[in-house]
A = this chain, B = another copy of it.
């Protein structure tokens, strides 16, 4: 019986610790109000056994967009900053870029000019910076960049430009038996090297856009080579496809911030039983950024606002609903 008694003593300590933690508000960066109440009420009813809205833990799937929902996306998607830094790093090996678009404009610091080439220009930049190496090499490139690069406005590492209320929400959902997933238009292998440390979301719960890879032997060792070809675009109507492919189960809660998340929220809502759909609205120019229908990055169109109201989706006001936006605030 001794090992059991020791185990129990240990558990008593752990349980006491949890009780103390719960005495504090797990959503302390959220202002009290209808948005916070909607979250707490939803979690309570789906996790209470015997409740008509009870959902077994295995089915408590929550999906989160990343850019603009968990971390910032202004003045430009962070992955685009990564690509630009890579273009600069690789430029000495590519003298032809000096006169070849979209690289020539990029190297002069003219991002708008570079992106004027549209999808074709973006694909060229992705291929030049995200393909042609092994998955392990790319992982290291991303990990090195994310450890050193800084956001132009906040002068902090990008992984600190994350929304503290959403970090709390992720933890709160997991503490209540949810499995949390990222479902982002961003590159799946651009996110995986850091999501576990930053959000507590392991690589296998990250869904994103991807390029094709190929299994090869290199010097007798197997590698996965990253090919210059898109595999999947996890945005808009691609999000339900990606969710079905990776998770195989419909989320009961989904969080986004832009037109790219519309179909994910529709797909989530179309399931039976209790559902929670929320959209982060960037309306706080003082603490973060204010943008919406007119923005090319993270467009929150008027049509999306209409659909949100019609379908009962909650629009989170960063200004009103979030007490704190960043953990570094006031430091």
A residues near B (Cβ < 8 Å) are: 3-4, 7-8, 11-12, 15-16, 19, 58, 61, 135, 179, 188-189, 192, 196, 202-206, 210, 213-215, 221-222, 224, 231, 237-238, 240-241, 244-249, 263, 266-267, 270
Contacts and interface: CB of A to CB of B under 8 A. Distances in A.
Contact of A246 (B3, B196, B204, B238): B204
Contacts of A135: 244
A273 to B, nearest CB: 15
Contacts of A192: 248
A15 B4 contact: yes
B241 A214 contact: yes
A222 B16 contact: no
A203 B11 contact: no
Contact of A215 (B4, B19, B188, B237): B237
A189 B248 CA distance: 8
Interface of A is mostly: helix
Contact of A248 (B11, B15, B16, B203): B203
By Cβ-Cβ distance, the 8 closest A-B pairs, closest first, are: A203-B248, A215-B237, A204-B247, A192-B248, A215-B240, A222-B266, A203-B249, A222-B270
A244 B206 CA distance: 11
Contacts of A15: 4, 7-8, 11
B58 A196 contact: yes
Given A135-B244, A203-B248, A246-B246, 18 more contacts: A4-B12, A4-B16, A4-B19, A8-B8, A8-B15, A11-B11, A58-B196, A58-B202, A179-B204, A203-B247, A204-B247, A204-B248, A213-B241, A215-B240, A215-B267, A222-B266, A224-B240, A224-B244
A202 B205 CA distance: 13
Contact of A224 (B206, B210, B241): B241
A293 to B, nearest CB: 23
Nearest to A181: B204
8 contacts: A188-B248, A204-B246, A206-B248, A214-B237, A215-B237, A215-B240, A215-B241, A222-B270
